[in-house]
Amino acid sequence: MYVSERGNDRVMKWVEGSKQGIVVAGGQGYGNVLTQLSCPGGVVVDQLGTVYVVDDENGRIMGWPKGATQGSAIVCGNGRGGQSNQLNRPIGLSIDRHGNLYVVD
């Protein structure tokens, strides 16, 4: 199970039966560098184990390959706003069976 923790600016993976989670995205405090998230929201994981997460306050979708220490801006990354190269308040994600990523903004 993956849990997006808005207050802790990270995404945790919880394996069934474990007593501790594993940080798989963020966890380096609130911010906008590639090791940080700011109020993460929706999270999905693809078949390769890449974690995609809504980085709400930064107006971007981040991708964290399995085992990576930093992510990359997969969608946008130009701050929040209403321009054609920006997301305003992204909230949700979905991946279809073909690997297409869908974003709710």
Query: Quick one: tokens of 35?
Result: 């090791």
DSSP state of 57: G
**CATH no. for residue 84?**
2.120.10.30
Within 8 A by CB and 6+ apart from 105, the residues are: 87, 88, 89, 90, 91
Q: Which pLDDT score, from 0 to 100, does residue 100 have?
A: 96
Amino acid identity of residue 23, one-letter, is V
In which band, very low, low, confident or very high, does the pLDDT at 49 lie, cut at 50, 70 and 90? very high
Q: pLDDT tens-digit profile of 26-37?
A: 999 999 999 999
In which band, very low, low, confident or very high, does the pLDDT at 78 lie, cut at 50, 70 and 90? confident
Query: How many domains, in total, are found in the chain?
Result: 1
Element (H, E) at 48: none
The pTM of this model reads: 0.93
